[in-house]
Amino acid sequence: MTRTLLIGLDGATFTVLGPFLDGTAPEGVVMPFLAHLIETGYSGTLASTAHPLTPPAWTSVMTGRNPGHHGIYDFVRFEDMGHEVFFTLYDARDIRAETLWQVASRQGKSVVSLNFPMMAPPPEINGALVPGFVSWKHLRRNTWPGGLYDRIKAIPGFDPKELSWDFEREGQIGELMEDAELHAWVDKHLPRDRQWFTIGLTLLQEDRPDLFALMLDGTDKIQHQAWHRLDPALWTGDGDAAAQAVRRLVVDYFRGLDGYLKALHEAAPEAQMIIVSDHGFAGAWTVVRINNYLESLGHLTWRANDGSEAARRRDLSNFANLDWSRTQAFCPTPSSNGIVIRKKSPACPAGVDPADYPAFRAQLIEDLLALRDPETGKQVIARVMTREEAFPGQAMDQAPDLTLFLADHGFVSVRNRVPPVVTRPIPMGTHHPDGIFVMAGPGVRAAKGARLSIVDTTAIAAHSIGLPVPQDFEGKVPADLYDPDWLAQHPVTIGPATLAVAGAGEGATETASETAGTQGTEEDEQREEVLAQLRLLGYIED
């Protein structure tokens, strides 16, 4: 019998969900099942990782550890060779902590894990695993166990192409779409969650795992682009026919999502159901071109532009446009919201002298906080955290030296454009640090809880499936989560620490030649497809 349903809703936020739950949206109650879960169960906001981004946040859910311990900070990691910087994708080999799937498996629990990022190549678990962020062309070799893909392929209506992000639109999500184009974009995306739900329901019914974990990410992608049609502060029910059509489509998406949750619950009615998001959402009005600002401070230099098409494209890229022989500090990707300070060495003579690093960093923080919006005079960077503050732990050295928190929670831009600060005509959806937590089922109290930490979810899930909570998990099970009588019969216990992960971090030790692109053709192809998909979401720019 399945004991626990752990459902991830990427980017889900009470800002959008609230009106759909209480009926204050123009459409009335859109998500009656989720509303029932909240009414009969425990709910509250869920604080994301220090930088609320999909890969580090979901990895924290999977490991019960913060990025300083698990080592995942972004979609993309880099290796600084001094004369050049090489970029590649994070993957499961970079995770420096055991996942809950592995902890549960070695203690005899069965697991189904679907669509969580950073899970390829898949770890061996007692159950079934299909990772997210994998192109459909490479799905077979990235599933566990070996025969799982053929089982999935036999599901009526299965289409592997719908599991990937193969959208025809080549632009990036951070640029405004007209409503007609936006409608087509959202409509094309809807089958993706339906495919994952169908796979999940099939495996849940057939395998009856102790722990069933499924992540649905349509919430994130739709809110990124259609925020102005979802935010209750921006959508008042007015709008032309095209705008109304987009609104109906995105509302139908959330209505369908509610149906998925209900069907999964009905397939395991005795299970405790945990619903979490990796972060929330908000609207970002400001574009902060952070590398342009670093250039004005004298900390980086762009490569010379000879007027060619290649040079023009290089200037719009975040991977190939800097003169590394004259760059001391830079932001590698929009998704990182981080600044890397290069230290001087024989291989990197342009870097900051290690003895000068503390003073250089302190002055840079002061300069970053001084950046103002020229139209309003308001501060655009609300806070800057050092890596020691944001990501303490064994993997801290892989974190950006500084992490930026924009006043409107937006992502920075790394493009070579001026001026450094501009205002968008309409806000784009961006990540907010407050996600959602909802839990219902046997023994769960009906209550509004205090703000939880994202790492609490792993401890809660471990306890829910009957495991002692590993002592090195950073989260805890809230004292008010359960009815006292039920908790007395199912006390929270603390168990041994998680195991060291063989080969953890080995992805970050690839040679420069491999990272630069001499890997096998198939892996290169997969890498380029995923990078293209990240461009669509605005997490990297091109």
Q: Which of 161, 123, 163 is nearest to 145 (CA)?
A: 123
Per-residue pLDDT, 502:
67
What distance in Å separates the CA atoms of residue 174 and residue 335, rounded to the nearest whole number?
12
Q: Which of 145, 200, 182, 188 is nearest to 8 (CA)?
A: 200
What distance in Å separates the CA atoms of residue 301 and residue 294, rounded to the nearest whole number?
9
How many Å from the N-terminal Cα to the C-terminal Cα in the chain?
48
| Beta bridge partners of residue 404, listed in sequence order | 384
Contact 345/82 with Cβ under 8 angstroms? yes
Residues 177/180/185/189 CA torsion (nearest 10 deg): 140
Per-residue pLDDT, 305:
81
User: Where do we find the tokens 């809230």?
Assistant: 478
Q: Which residues of the chain have pLDDT under 70?
A: 164-175, 316-320, 502-542
Per-residue pLDDT, 508:
45
CB-based contacts of 420, cutoff 8 Å, min separation 6: 288, 289, 290, 292, 293, 296, 371
What distance in Å separates the CA atoms of residue 242 and residue 23, rounded to the nearest whole number?
24
DSSP code for 263: H
Per-residue pLDDT, 84:
86
In sequence order, which ranges of 218-356 are alpha helices (DSSP H)?
218-226, 241-267, 290-296, 309-315
**What are the start-end ranges of the E strands in 312-390?**
329-330, 338-341, 381-386
Per-residue pLDDT, 507:
55
